[in-house]
Amino acid sequence: MTVLDYTAIDFETANSYRGSPCAVGLVRVRDGRPVDEQRWLIRPPEQVDYFDGFNTALHGIDAETVQGAARWRAVLPALMEYVADDVVVTHNAGFDIGVIRYACAVDNIEWPEMRFLCTMAMSRRALSLPSYRLPYVAESLGFAMGDHHDPLADAHGVVGIVTALADAAGVQDLADLAAAHSMSIGCMSSGPYQGSVATGTGSRGFTPIEVNPDADPDGYLYGRVVVFTGTLMSMTRDIARQECARVGAIPEQNTTKKTNVLVIGDINPAVLRPGSNLTGKARKAFELQDNGQAIEVMTEDDFLRCLDGKALTVIEDLLLEEPVPSAAPNRNPLRSVPLDRRPIPVPPKPPKPPKPLRRERKPVGQVCSVEGCGDTAAFRTWSRPTYCDAHIAAILDVGGLEALESFTHPQDFLLTRCKACSNVAHYRFEYVLEKNGCSEATCRACYWRAWAEQSRALAGRFARFEPVPFEHAQTIASENGFIYLGPLTSPSLPDDPHRTECGRCGRISAERLGDIAFGCPCRPGK
């Protein structure tokens, strides 16, 4: 009888084009135990050899990092030699196997022969979770991952998921594990491609209404009611609904008891984890799931990968055409273009310098909006209340802050000190007003300390209490464009906040390491 022998794999990409690998992590597993590992940097294929700021903010890899690395066409033979006859296991095969397919296509070389299994698809069959991102599944199964978006750490996360699911199913063979969850092991060769997907359609196998009648009923979104909230970066809401209909999903406007999937734009994916504090529709979706409704919260990236992993095959066709050069305006022009009409991405323009944290204060002719106060207002507004310096100080005091510099504008960043913990950080006055409105103190250092303590209490015996080394936190901050100012707890535990200063705009803030890894909002692509 064969045992749990396989190779776990994870790719990171240089930009939004799937076939732009810049790093890969590989873990060889024998009899269910890791016996070897490799982490290689890669220079992407020449046609797509550029780095998006957003991608670099995620994984910390840029053009200088891979300057001495081999090109994809040289790495692929070594990768296949390492994998040999193993089944490749990855969390989201639509992405990682897609990296191989698209990179080979842009380099005009044949796809390699490969068998693969997807732990994301398997987790969806085995577990009932609001999100199936790698860190969420790992924590839900009771083990801690390394740094998310480090390809080797993510590959080890895949191994942890396979081990946990195999133990739960009582199997010792990869094929038996797939069969236990009604999964198939995918295969790829120079010709056909068959994904690692569920072999049964379950409740999704009904005929969709006013959507593509020829959509694949085995597709993950087929027949599911999908709702969008927030601003999508890759496409307009209308295009997103069209893409839903194309793969057999039913797009609707509002979250109801019929909703199966909530796709959230403009949200930090790091907050999608057990014990998360969310607001609005996201919280409602979590509550519906707690009440027994089969609803899943997806980030925009999760949604795109669901489309890409099963039904989206237009990239290979686009590679046969010449890229269409165009001067990119400030707003991405492709958001309103259907996916099957989009050209290969072209390198972005050099980023603009960041906006200053503060501007010059201008005299105004208005008076403070507080009843009975006739003092001159500090800023002009025609639709909202305005305040004098004394009442601005009083509002900051309600939020638990004292200003360390003069007020300039409600949208500017104001350096403040927390009266409870003395942490110094920048906040917009508008943000203070928002937090006051929901009776919440403004200081994020206080907030994240309390959040981390609550999270550890909820996790119980699965809570992580290993101190975070100073050098480790400093490295994460440095790799993502921050000056590390030190931890905000002693000892510094996982999920505790750290104090950083953006090396680009100078904003000082209190952040968790997971949020630091996404970089400052002033960076291009944020």
Phi/psi at 426 (5° precision): -90, 135
Instruction: Identify which of 399, 397, 384 has the alpha carbon closest to the alpha carbon of residue 436.
Output: 399
Task: Return d(Cα 524, Cα 52) in angstroms, integer.
Answer: 8
Do the beta carbons of residue 274 and residue 128 sit within 8 Å? Answer: no
Give tens-digit pLDDT for 290-304: 777 777 877 777 788
Q: Which pLDDT does position 381 carry in this prediction?
A: 87
Report residue 344 as tokens.
């290969």
pTM value is 0.47
Q: Could you tell me what percentage of the chain is helix, strand and coil, using 3-state DSSP and rounding each to the nearest 5?
A: 35, 15, 50
Assign 3-class secondary structure to 440-492: CCCCHHHHHHHHHHHHHHHHHHHCCCCCCCHHHHHHHHHHCCEEEEEECCCCC
Q: Among all chains, which residue has been given the structure tokens 């060889």?
A: 28
Phi/psi at 269 (5° precision): -60, -20
DSSP state of 202: G
Q: Which pLDDT does position 202 carry in this prediction?
A: 38
Assign 3-class secondary structure to 128-176: CCCCCCHHHHHHHCCCCCCCCCCHHHHHHHHHHHHHHHHHHHCCCCHHH
Do the beta carbons of residue 493 and residue 519 sit within 8 Å? Answer: no
Q: Which pLDDT does position 207 carry in this prediction?
A: 34
Do the beta carbons of residue 36 and residue 158 sit within 8 Å? Answer: no
Task: Return d(Cα 388, Cα 46) in angstroms, integer.
Answer: 57
Q: Which amino acid is at 431?
A: Y
Low-confidence ranges of the chain (pLDDT < 70): 1-2, 189-210, 266-283, 285, 308-335, 344-351, 524-526
Q: Which pLDDT does position 90 carry in this prediction?
A: 94
Helix (H, G, I), strand (E, B) or coil at 268: coil
Do the beta carbons of residue 403 and residue 416 sit within 8 Å? Answer: yes
In terms of Cβ atoms closer than 10 Å to its own Cβ (0-12, 13-18, 19+), residue 504 is: middle
Q: Is the dihedral of CA 429, 441, 514, 267 positive or negative?
A: negative
The dotted CATH code for 202-314 is 3.40.50.10190
Sorted by sequence, the CB contacts under 8 Å of residue 226 that are 6+ apart come out as 244, 249, 250, 251, 252, 259, 260, 261, 262, 263
Give tens-digit pLDDT for 193-248: 454 545 443 333 333 346 777 777 778 888 888 888 777 777 778 888 888 888 88
| CA quadruple 303, 304, 307, 308: dihedral, nearest 10 | -140
Do the beta carbons of residue 272 and residue 297 sit within 8 Å? Answer: yes
**Domain range annotation of the chain:** 6-194, 202-314, 445-516
Fold category of 6-194 in CATH = Nucleotidyltransferase; domain 5 (3.30.420)
Element (H, E) at 58: helix 53-59
Helix (H, G, I), strand (E, B) or coil at 54: helix
Rg from Cα positions in the chain? 25
Instruction: Identify which of 198, 121, 113, 220 has the alpha carbon closest to the alpha carbon of residue 162.
Output: 121
